[in-house]
C-alpha cells in the first residue's frame, strides 16, 4: 500500500525546506496537491487521511500546551475523482515540459536564453496551444522565422503534447529546485 508513497517521499525531500507544506495523495496514491499544514491538520482531525507517524518526515507545530506532528505526506482514505485540470501553456510551462531544451538543436537553455516557438507560425494559422508551442533557442527560432519546420527543413526532437496531470506538481518541484539552487 505504501510503496508508491515511498516514491513520493523522494519528493518530500524537496518539501523539507519549504515552510510547512504537506503532499496530499489520492487514495490510489497519485499526488493531488501540496497543501498547508493547517489544511493537513484539518484533514487529520476529520479522519479523512491515513497518517504514518513512524515516518521521520513530519512538521512539528508548536501549540500552547503541546507540539503536534504533521506528516509531510498524507493519503486520502477515499478516492476523489479529479476534474480534468487544464494547465495553461504559458512560457514557463512550455519550458518545463521541454526540460529547458531547444527542441530543434538540443541546446540546454535557461529562462534568459529560451524562447517559445510557434511550430506552425501564427501567420499561417498556428495557435498558442500545447501542441503548437515548443521550446527553442534564439538562433533556431530566428533561423526558422516564419516557416513551418518542414519548410525550414528542421526536425522537432519531441512532438509537442499537452502534459498529463501530475506535471503541475512536478513543475512546482522543478521551480522549487531552481530557486533553491539559484
Ligand atoms: Zn536551437
CA of 105 to the centre of ligand 1 (A): 4
Distance 111 CA to ligand 1 centre (A): 14
Q: Tell me, in angstroms, the distance from the centre of ligand 1 to residue 99's CA.
A: 13
SS3 127: coil
According to the model, what pLDDT value does residue 17 have? 45
pLDDT value for 7: 47
98 CA to centre of ligand 1 in angstroms = 12
> If you measure from the C-alpha of residue 140 to the centroid of ligand 1, how many angstroms do you get, rounded to a whole number?
4
Residue 168 alpha carbon to ligand 1 centre in Å: 26
d(CA 97, CA 103): 11
DSSP calls for 48-96: -EE--TTSS-EEEEE-SS-EEEEESEEEESS--PPP-PPPP--HHHHHH
Give the domain 91-162 fold.
DNA Binding (I), subunit A (1.10.30)
Spans of the chain, pLDDT less than 50: 1, 3, 7, 10-11, 14-18, 176, 180, 182
3 state SS of 163: coil
Q: What is the pLDDT of residue 21?
A: 77
CB 50 within 8 Å of CB 74: yes
What pLDDT is stored for residue 148 in this prediction? Answer: 97
Cα 131 to averaged position of ligand 1 atoms, centre (Å)? 18
- pLDDT score recorded for residue 182: 46
Residues of the chain with CATH 1.10.30.50: 91-162
pTM for the full model?
0.54
Amino acid at each position: 500500500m505504501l510503496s508508491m508513497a515511498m516514491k513520493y517521499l523522494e519528493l518530500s525531500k524537496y518539501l523539507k525546506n519549504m515552510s510547512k507544506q504537506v503532499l496530499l495523495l489520492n487514495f490510489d496514491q497519485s499526488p493531488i496537491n501540496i497543501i498547508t499544514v493547517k489544511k493537513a491538520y484539518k484533514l487529520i482531525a476529520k479522519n479523512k487521511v491515513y497518517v504514518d507517524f513512524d515516518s521521520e518526515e513530519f512538521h512539528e507545530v508548536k501549540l500552547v500546551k503541546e507540539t503536534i506532528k504533521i506528516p509531510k505526506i498524507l493519503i486520502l482514505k477515499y478516492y476523489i475523482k479529479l476534474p480534468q485540470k487544464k494547465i495553461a501553456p504559458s512560457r514557463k510551462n512550455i519550458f518545463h515540459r521541454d526540460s529547458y531544451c531547444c527542441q530543434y538543436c538540443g541546446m540546454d537553455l535557461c529562462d534568459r536564453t529560451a524562447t517559445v516557438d510557434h511550430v506552425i507560425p501564427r501567420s499561417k494559422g498556428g495557435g498558442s496551444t500545447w501542441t503548437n508551442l515548443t521550446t527553442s533557442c534564439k538562433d533556431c527560432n530566428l533561423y526558422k522565422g516564419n516557416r513551418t519546420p518542414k519548410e525550414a527543413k528542421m526536425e522537432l526532437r519531441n512532438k509537442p503534447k499537452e502534459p498529463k496531470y501530475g506535471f503541475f506538481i512536478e513543475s512546482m518541484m522543478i521551480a522549487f529546485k531552481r530557486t533553491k539552487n539559484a
